[in-house]
Amino acid sequence: MLTVSLQITVITSFWFLGKSLGITVDLKYYYVFFTLTWVLGALPFSIGGAVVVEGTLAYLFIHFAGVEKEMAFALVMCQRLIWILASLPGAVIHLIGAHLPKDFFIDSDEPVV
């Protein structure tokens, strides 16, 4: 239930972003298109769904929702940029090694350093 609630919140946020860009389509398009493209992006066609998600999402907005090409492209690029920015703190934690265990034991009572 938490996952569904958070996904609804994220997609609704993208709807607000689209409205601020001048895209005036119903919220239902966002719920269907974003969900579909995120599932498609999880398949191993590309690294992190790059290009697959953006291309499919732009195509759906242009051909089924009647959004102008420039506006659809701006929306999908903003979506990718937001995900990149949201991932940066995790990348920093990974690069500095803060996620690694402090002590590592291999069949011994003493830590291996």
Three-class SS of the chain:
CHHHHHHHHHHHHHHHHHHHHCCCCCHHHHHHHHHHHHHHHHCCCCHHHCCHHHHHHHHHHHHHCCCCHHHHHHHHHHHHHHHHHHHHHHHHHHHHCCCCCCCECCCCCCCEC
* pTM for the full predicted model: 0.83
pLDDT score, position 9: 97
pLDDT over 90 for what percent of the chain?
81
Under the banding of pLDDT at 50, 70 and 90, the label for residue 109 is low
pLDDT score, position 26: 97
What does the radius of gyration of the chain's CA atoms come to, in whole angstroms? 19
Q: Has residue 106 got a pLDDT over 90?
A: no
User: In terms of pLDDT, which residue wins out, 34 or 100?
Assistant: 34
pLDDT score, position 97: 87
pLDDT digits (tens, 9 = 90+) for 57-82: 999 999 999 999 999 999 999 999 99
The domain locations on the chain are 2-96
pLDDT score, position 98: 87
